[in-house]
Structure 1
């Protein structure tokens, strides 16, 4: 959607927003023109929003420097609301207050006709005003340290230096990711969501029946999908046994994965899942099955779009997590919170929940990061970030394993995950 007639800075803004535009996603780009909202049509033409198709709503709505140019931001947001549906992602772009004097004089001496913002908004201002209109800012990023087209220097400053901590606060453009505030989100014609609970298992024979007995009923129809992966014990036989035992009482599906690794197992199970909500529950029962309704309620109440279990809040059972693993999880927490521009305390908790429609969109984007995460945690977190989903940690009590042994190699897999994080820096922070 980059227009050759736009300035270098405008092209940088559009390029960054393109990152969050998923295949099949409808998009609307808005600016202010003489105190009126204008929408991008094509070939650089901007039209009044009254010219848009009646009743049309969009998955992604971009407000480019519109808030700072409006005499009444609340009235502007009221105009935008009919163009949005319940899960629309709204990205508002505004100038950094630090650049106010530079922008004012540059436009005066360059003779450019673009409107200079009448309101220099702080992060707190934007957060407060959108909240008054029933919306929330859930992510805030800064981009473009050098808004001029200087070969080699420009890309270096914007891709590398401008993403460094502290220096990042000097960037010209602020991006505010906005969503409608939490409220009951129901699908058309439905009162509740159906749920698919995915349970990947390898050498977990002693836990299979216990899991089914402990999963509570919640929401609409419920589907439990066991997927067995190259076990050396009788895990598969136990899955078939509980399927037969609960026949007519619970909808239990048992399959064997065709590939290797937890990530592959989850992906194969997701493909056959019929529920509106997709949940992952590890078969070691270190996260209590009784906690699953909390994840369901958080998702349907729109506390977040991607609910991530967090084991690092409540006191753990003795031997639930080894010392080096705990340190590693805390390090990854800091690294990911910086990388994804929102606090994420526990990246490696196996319990994660999202809507199936969001997973299908995430799957289409998977090629961007690559499909080499053996566990699937990073794959889902990176994918949720790229979709512009709000990621929320949900604290859970972490229990010690009562059967079998962990399938994770602390040092080997820890090193692999660190390399994946470093790769993601290039794809997210330092991308062209």
Structure 2
């Protein structure tokens, strides 16, 4: 798009697209050939943005692959490019023989196989029929595929026109500027669900310190972000129910909860093809371990199991329990019973229906018991809910509700990408939430009734854990928002 201080050749296009589709496509291909052969710095800034969405070693289908440099910069395990300009396809094939490039119109490609990501980068202005293109994209998608679309902001339209007049930017033929509403409607019409959108690249040229300040920080702040060059959308196929009927593992971390064990043993409902219940005993100072051993022995059910937590903290308990789980859907239920087990089927429905890939409980919708949550805790939960919603880019009403549900497949993906955040979360909530947000999973809040603890004392320290929450917020902001 933007050149590196080079003059663009004299290319003259009609002011309006001609009536003939074939003539329009011919002019568009010529425009792409002249435009996409340069702009190294601009491409590098785009690669930086997309790398935050598409991990290395992914299977990527790139629509509008140009000379192949953007696809190569993402370092895919499998890379396939589609580009209508034949000279760009030839260049990409010569420069990056490890990937496959095909000459085809955006609306007419035929590619076999499914991909982790379909990238549609900066091509909407050149697309003759966006609905036809998106229908082709559907064929390359599985339910886990993420479609990533980058599109120019209309705010930059007069700026780019002026830069082309000064011969600083390349001329282009396409003249279809899609608004954010147009892009969202195209997803909806063609069977896709929008997951997130963010603004990127406030300063498209490279200038030490200034570029980083504008593109990493200011671009994500209110007001400033509306002036970004790009809006990046992430979508998935419209959800479908999981088949066959998925099984369930309910994980119950339990530390100093011996008085709640009888209710837990009797109240966990049956869900799916089978329901496994794993208790992870957290080195209690009371008789929780002994009570659990006796209760499980009396039940004599192989689906009810007990393990001893190897480390400390709820996060460690969750990891230890999920490593032993056999269910297709994984659930976390706190042993304090402030969220009743009979709430779990609504989480199962949200995930098994495909509407959510990660179901997050929220205690802040229904009225609580008078003594269920102290006033300062309530204020803190509301504050952190808004802060983490901003950081993660998806609405999260309650980050600290212990009831969280996701598929085994989603959990395994979070584990595989855990190095991105590192070992930072003693709670276990943010390891999962941040991982799901990083991978653009569909997170859905599920309201729960939050009751008063009837046995034992809370394991939460208001001020010490509040400090840790600010640390979690800083980690999330640095890794997810200002990256």
Partner residue, 1:280? 332
Structure-2 change in CA distance of 1:218 and 1:167 (3 Å): same
Deviates further, 109-118 or 364-373: 109-118
Structure-2 change in CA distance of 1:32 and 1:256 (3 Å): closer
Pair 1:417-2:472 in alignment: no
Shift of 1:77: 0.2
Query: Equivalent residues in 2 for 1:241-252 (5 A)?
Result: 241-248=294-301, 251-252=303-304
Partner residue, 1:38? 83
Pair 1:144-2:201 in alignment: yes
Equivalent residue in structure 1 for 2:52, among 15, 19, 38: 19
Give the paired residue count.
422
Query: Equivalent residues in 2 for 1:1-400 (5 A)?
Result: 7-22=40-55, 25-31=58-64, 37-38=82-83, 43=95, 46-48=101-103, 55-107=112-164, 109-110=166-167, 115=172, 117-186=174-243, 191-248=244-301, 251-400=303-452
Shift of 1:246: 2.1
For residues 331-387 of structure 1, what are the alpha-carbon distances to aligned partners after superposition, in whole Å with 9 as ceiling and x for unaligned? 001101111112111011011111111111111222221212111111111111111
C-alpha contact 2:351 2:406 (8 A) present in aligned 1: yes
Shift of 1:111: 6.7
**Structure 1: 5+ residue stretches without partners:** none
C-alpha contact 1:23 1:364 (8 A) present in aligned 2: no
SS of match in other structure, 1:110: coil
Shift of 1:115: 4.1
Structure-2 change in CA distance of 1:330 and 1:49 (3 Å): farther
C-alpha contact 1:333 1:344 (8 A) present in aligned 2: yes
SS of match in other structure, 2:203: coil
Structure-2 change in CA distance of 1:185 and 1:109 (3 Å): farther
C-alpha contact 2:124 2:177 (8 A) present in aligned 1: no
For residues 109-165 of structure 1, what are the alpha-carbon distances to aligned partners after superposition, in whole Å with 9 as ceiling and x for unaligned? 437657465322222211111101111212110011001112221111111221212
Paired with 2:449 and 2:379, the residues of 1 have a C-alpha distance of 18
SS of match in other structure, 1:147: coil
Paired with 2:423 and 2:309, the residues of 1 have a C-alpha distance of 16
Paired with 1:279 and 1:172, the residues of 2 have a C-alpha distance of 41
C-alpha contact 1:32 1:66 (8 A) present in aligned 2: no
Paired with 1:409 and 1:119, the residues of 2 have a C-alpha distance of 56
Paired with 1:360 and 1:114, the residues of 2 have a C-alpha distance of 46
Structure-2 change in CA distance of 1:323 and 1:233 (3 Å): same
- Give the TM-score of the pair, scaled to structure 1: 0.92
Structure-2 change in CA distance of 1:116 and 1:425 (3 Å): farther
C-alpha contact 1:22 1:361 (8 A) present in aligned 2: no
Paired with 2:405 and 2:467, the residues of 1 have a C-alpha distance of 26
SS of match in other structure, 2:365: coil
Deviates further, 255-264 or 47-56: 47-56
Shift of 1:306: 0.9
Shift of 1:106: 2.4
C-alpha contact 1:309 1:351 (8 A) present in aligned 2: yes
CA-based RMSD of the aligned residues comes to: 2.4
Paired with 1:117 and 1:270, the residues of 2 have a C-alpha distance of 51
SS of match in other structure, 2:417: helix
For residues 31-72 of structure 1, what are the alpha-carbon distances to aligned partners after superposition, in whole Å with 9 as ceiling and x for unaligned? 177xx9529866468533699995311011111123332121
Shift of 1:13: 2.0
